[in-house]
Structure 1
Amino acid sequence: MEKSVLFHIPCFLLFLLLTINGVHGNYICGNETFSANTNYGKDLDTLLPSLASNVIALGGFYNASLGGVYALALCRKHYEAQSCRSCVYRASRNLLTLCQGLTEAFQWDSETDTNVSCMVRYSNLPTFGKLRLDPITTVPHSSLPSSNLTRFTEEFTVMANRTIDVASTADESSELKYYGVSSAEFTEFREVYMLMQCTPDLSSSDCKYCLRENLRYNQESYWRRIGSAIGRPSCYFRWDLYPFVGAFDNLKRVSAPPRPPQPPPEDAQIKKGKTFQTWSVVVAVVPTVINMFVFVAFVLAYRQMRRRIYAGLNNNSDTDGQSMLRFDLGMILIATDKFSPENKLGQGGFGSVYKGILPSGQEIAVKRLAGGSGQGDLEFKNEVLLLTRL
């Protein structure tokens, strides 16, 4: 069979118009085509319009085949007969129009002005009892104005897990045996509403897996949005801050997520003070160890500093214990104005003597050793030591 584009522009525009008019229905068309005027097309045109009447007669779920066409339809649990019939009929006509010439399609449909949601699906392959996760339809809503997303995540996860447990537990008294709705009060939202449903031809484990995949997809793709609807060929998930499609009129409430545990009063803490707790030992030991490391580091640094001071004193002392001040060349150049001739006081056998003024204002005499004087470092140092004793 020929391959075609998944969505055509006219179909996409029509879908946008339906959404603007209040229809929250996402449809998916397959990419495999069938030729016009074939038995498959004729059987499809015959089978899909019959779904609406038969789904009511069979308790909200209808599975049928004709020739090579396999189709099923279901409504949400606790449906109103006329609303369910209208929803299935509308979804069937949409698929015949929007997915014309394609061998496979499905749609989860809901409308704001009717208390119903439904799903219609057809294929050229048997689908009954087989878990299908792809393709997927999504309707994200607005951004999430939550200042505490961590707390919201905790509450939402608890509520979703409980709803999945309810929805995936088969209710054998109903044809629509996989279904769950819940509402709960969150820290930042007065009410949160949630609906989950699987096609009843699945096993309980397949239903739970499908719903968990919807929850995972919602957390990965639409976590900072208020409300979302995620539909797969085998299951459906939706949540919002308001009751939708009449699903909560006969609500079997799931208990609200637990609040964070409150700290015990002071007197209770005192009574429990004698009990050995591992965390209390950790709290007591860690600061002590840190303080010991800081103290040792301080002592080592102090000893190193003392060694440097004593080494400097030794380097600045002669053999007789006389201490000398030392100035670097930069300071001498500043004090003598770079040995300016105007500051020259006189000249001896080993060099010239210059007048200098330190930054502190103290006047000094600086002797500059001549290059060819013949006086060595030892003689020069002895001369300086002699001057320090005067």
Structure 2
Amino acid sequence: MWNVQNVSSNVEQFTEDLRSLLDGLKNKAAAGDSLRKFATRNTTAPDFQTLYALVQCTSDLSQQGCNNCLDYTFGILPQLGDLKKGGRVINTNCNFRYEIYLFYEATADAPPSTNTTTATGGNESNTSRTVIIAVVSSVVFVGVIIISIWVLLRKKMAKEKEETQPLSEPVEDIESAESLQYNFETIRVATDNFSEENKLGQGGFGSVYRGRLFNGQDIAVKRLSRGSGQGDLEFKNEVLLVAKLQHRNLVRLLGFWLEGNERLLVYDRIHSNCKS
């Protein structure tokens, strides 16, 4: 969901300020304990504006899992085309929001106050807190229902799609492969629409392009040749197997994109010199 207003001036500075703000909040939220992975903060934006942001992960995620989830969710921003003055993205296990106005309770991320209050003041504070908790609980409950329906529909569609593919033996915990799937628009923007300037080389299995995600991470994208005849399930099994391989001499596989005949593999380009 996005603000209808575009950032019309100092776009690059606004983007840099927003990216710095979100990255800082991501690290703070990811470092939270098992009960709270949540952070809010504001910063000064161009044209005397104040930029507010909030990020959150579900408490079951590890620190690395929270980082990965937010990195993927932040990557949706470049898909907007013109940068908006505000917006929010709600993923299954994490979400974030930013605006040029204060949209959260100012004390949401502050330590508890040590000041004492009168009996009347305490009652008023408790009443306000009760109302806020009730409203937030209702919103969260509705959000969980919507997300659950969305997840069930996605699983049903994936199951129907897999049933049309040739039978094969799936590897254990194949559902975890879905967490490695990138958004095609994110990859397209990162590689400047697979431009020739970003092309690193070409081999028998396809072309390789360099790219950079919204969060600044350098990647190498292998665009596999079409018409290989390999089924979607076999491809996911292979991706999951390669992603589990960890070795200092191997380029780390970050994820993939799969739809129809389009198959993309996304690698970490920080410690690699991938040219074929």
TM range (shorter): 0.3 to 0.5
RCO greater where, 1 or 2, for CA within 8 Å and sep 6 or more? 2
Per the normalisation by structure 1, the TM-score is: 0.27
Per the normalisation by structure 2, the TM-score is: 0.37
